[in-house]
């Protein structure tokens, strides 16, 4: 999983910090993305991510040509607290996806 470090707010945050966080959110800078490589010679890959729950919506984007060729057969088959499972075709080529997890 790849995440970017974003500033978090606390109950004691200053107005300037709050404005910075809100302005970044409005500019699309939310801490909701990640990257994973599909497990070779398998039909499922489990991704651990503390931001995921059973209600999270996960959207996938292929970032390699092999991943793009298999996107039609690749989908999120399970979501639980702190992880999700992606079902995909069995292959021995490197397939890398990025994802966004919302909710």
The Cα 95–Cα 71 span in angstroms is: 10
Same domain, 26 and 37: no
Euclidean distance between the first and the last CA atom of the chain, given in angstroms as a whole number: 17
Same domain, 58 and 25: no
Range of the domain at 97: 32-102
CA distances (Å), 30 to each of 7, 9, 36, 74, in order? 10, 13, 18, 25
The mean predicted confidence, pLDDT, of the chain is: 91
Same domain, 80 and 93: yes
Counting the structural domains of the chain, the total is 2
Same domain, 6 and 38: no
Average of per-residue pLDDT across 83-95: 93
Same domain, 26 and 36: no
Stated pTM of the model: 0.81
Average of per-residue pLDDT across 20-44: 91
The yes-or-no verdict on residue 85 having pLDDT over 80 is yes
The pLDDT tens digits for 46-81 are: 999 999 999 999 999 999 999 999 999 999 999 999
Confidence class for position 26, pLDDT limits 50, 70, 90: very high
CB atoms within 10 A of CB 34: 20
Farthest CA pair distance, the chain: 51
Nearest C-alpha neighbor of 3 from the set 36, 28, 26: 36
Same domain, 10 and 39: no
């Amino acid at each position: 999983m790849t995440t970017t470090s974003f500033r978090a707010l606390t109950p004691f945050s200053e107005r300037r910090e709050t404005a910075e966080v809100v302005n970044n959110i409005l500019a699309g800078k939310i801490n909701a993305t990640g990257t994973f490589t599909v497990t070779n010679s398998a039909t499922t890959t489990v991704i651990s991510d503390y931001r995921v729950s059973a209600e999270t919506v996960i959207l996938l984007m292929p970032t390699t040509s092999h991943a793009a060729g298999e996107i039609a057969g690749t989908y999120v088959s399970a979501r639980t607290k702190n992880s999700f499972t992606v079902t995909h075709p069995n292959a021995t080529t490197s397939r890398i996806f990025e994802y966004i997890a919302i909710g």
